[in-house]
Structure 1
């Protein structure tokens, strides 16, 4: 009986090795196909962007000049201004739905104005203050302060970066900081680059600490709906 058992064990190992070899071949093929596709898309990311940096900075500053510390009026002005532009109107979500957002230990709320594969535009903020980790992302993030003040810290420095209303905090792709909004602070946040990988950071706290599944589900639904809707318009 022993020789038979050894033969079965050897056959099992051979089958397992063959299966593993098959998966490695598939992985190698996918890697070979997707790598040049990714490289091509990476070199042409600018072609997929519909928002302009100077445009967003301008509308943010004008909204502050017109409405001061009235955050609700500022948000409405920004959305109406962007919706009124022919090139953007079909890509703007005018359904102002606010959802809690927990990420990197910080907690606030957000209203998703636009979400696609290469861009997102949201209003993010809190009326009570928060502090946390920015995350290390696959996109450049531009934080246009509308009301309140944000502070940021980079290891090795001894003074904080301070961003008052009207300023822009640019978190470069691949970099990381500690940030703090000591009191009420709201911002127009714009990210451009590869957005899907950023979602893991956005969902991590909900899955590992808060376990706020209704909020997590709603965030997933709204984000997915907007991304798929924009893909249907050939907006990556």
Structure 2
């Protein structure tokens, strides 16, 4: 299910395909051109540009990098950039690291600026459901290991 997300000034829609404490996979789309701050996380993030384009102005650089459909964009842990997404762009994003480090940034504009509590709840529900599923699998695996140890 897609829900609106506003982060660092940019705005789009997201569908979370997988969320855990250490990884996530999501689909991001924007139908309007949008721009803002990328955020800075304790995650390595990889974006696969499915359609459209992304421009990125990395910290301590004075040039803009352009990425179009078919290109993979890496955002290393701790890095930050100015970003601009083209109208009609689609991205598949994979994040690996400490996922909760991104949640405040991912939800701050939605919660504090736009007061879109419906979208904020959808985001928290997707994150919570992913964590609950991960906890369930951990407990299930632990029980199986205990039974095998007997």
Q: TM-score range by the shorter chain?
A: 0.7 to 0.9
Q: Which residue of 2 aligns with 1:232?
A: 136
Quote the Cα distance in structure 1 between the aligned partners of 2:59 and 2:97: 25
Quote the Cα distance in structure 2 between the aligned partners of 1:98 and 1:213: 15
The question of 1:112 aligning with 2:8 is answered no
Question: 106-115 vs 214-223, which deviates more?
Answer: 214-223
Q: Deviations over 1:37-62 (max 9, x none)?
A: xxxxxxxxxxxxxxxxxxxxxxxxxx
Q: Which residue of 1 aligns with 2:72?
A: 168
What count of residue pairs does the alignment treat as equivalent? Answer: 139
Q: Which has the higher contact order (CA 8 A, sep 6+)?
A: 2
TM-score normalized by structure 2?
Answer: 0.88
Q: Which structure would you say has the larger Rg?
A: 1
Note if contact 1:150-1:179 (Cα within 8 Å) is conserved in structure 2.
Answer: yes
Larger helix proportion of the pair: 1
The question of 1:205 aligning with 2:109 is answered yes
Q: Kindly report structure 1 stretches of 4+ aligned residues shifted beyond 6 Å.
A: none
Q: Give the RMSD, CA atoms, in angstroms.
A: 1.4
- In the TM superposition, what is the alpha-carbon distance from 1:157 to its structure 2 partner? 3.0
Q: Deviations over 1:80-100 (max 9, x none)?
A: xxxxxxxxxxxxxxxxx0100
Quote the Cα distance in structure 2 between the aligned partners of 1:223 and 1:204: 15
Note if contact 1:116-1:231 (Cα within 8 Å) is conserved in structure 2.
Answer: no
Q: 1:233–1:141: structure 2 CA closer, same or farther, 3 Å change rule?
A: same
Q: Which residue of 1 aligns with 2:91?
A: 187
Note if contact 2:19-2:126 (Cα within 8 Å) is conserved in structure 1.
Answer: no
TM-score normalized by structure 1?
Answer: 0.57
Note if contact 2:30-2:86 (Cα within 8 Å) is conserved in structure 1.
Answer: no
Quote the Cα distance in structure 1 between the aligned partners of 2:22 and 2:136: 14
Quote the Cα distance in structure 1 between the aligned partners of 2:81 and 2:62: 13
Q: Where does structure 2 lack aligned partners over 5 or more consecutive residues?
A: 140-150
Q: Which residue of 1 aligns with 2:3?
A: 99
Quote the Cα distance in structure 2 between the aligned partners of 1:167 and 1:175: 19
Which residue of 36, 46, 50 corresponds with 1:146?
Answer: 50
Q: Where does structure 1 lack aligned partners over 5 or more consecutive residues?
A: 1-96
